[in-house]
């Protein structure tokens, strides 16, 4: 069931929202993996387990970004942008 799109301008609020969404997704995928297990569907179970692992990595990334933002303040965002630009211009590419 869809919800209206939230327009968030504050970076910390964006990261917190994204983090919550990753947690919710991981919980849902985990429930679905368990349901697949109950129904002996090992292929789908593996798919959902892989999705849980991806969501947990995403959550960890957002958690790290939130910690860095709290630790270094708004300057962190500018530094991050500068480093990404340097990487792209040297052929390192964006992640």
pLDDT tens-digit series, residues 49-81: 999 999 999 999 999 989 988 888 878 878 877
Q: How many angstroms separate the CA atoms of 9 and 51, rounded?
A: 28
Higher pLDDT pick, 60 / 1 = 60
Q: Which of 68, 8, 66, 1 is nearest to 28 (CA)?
A: 1
Indicate yes or no: pTM above 0.75.
no
In this predicted structure, the answer to whether residue 16 has a pLDDT above a threshold of 60 is: yes
**How far apart (Å, rounded) are the C-alpha atoms in residues 79 and 86?**
11
Are the C-beta atoms of 44 and 36 separated by less than 8 Å? yes
pLDDT band at 26 (very low <50, low <70, confident <90, very high): very high
What integer is the mean pLDDT of 19-40? 95
CA distance 58 to 19: 8
Name the helix (H) or strand (E) containing 28.
helix 11-38
């Amino acid at each position: 069931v869809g919800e209206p799109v939230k327009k968030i301008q504050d970076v910390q609020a964006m990261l917190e929202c994204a983090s919550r969404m990753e947690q919710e997704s991981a919980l849902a995928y985990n429930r679905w993996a368990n349901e697949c297990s109950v129904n002996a569907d090992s292929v789908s179970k593996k798919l959902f387990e892989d999705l849980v692992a991806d969501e947990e990595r995403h959550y960890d990334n957002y958690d790290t970004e939130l910690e860095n933002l709290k630790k270094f303040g708004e300057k962190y965002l500018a530094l991050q942008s500068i480093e990404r630009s340097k990487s792209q211009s040297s052929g390192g590419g964006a992640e």
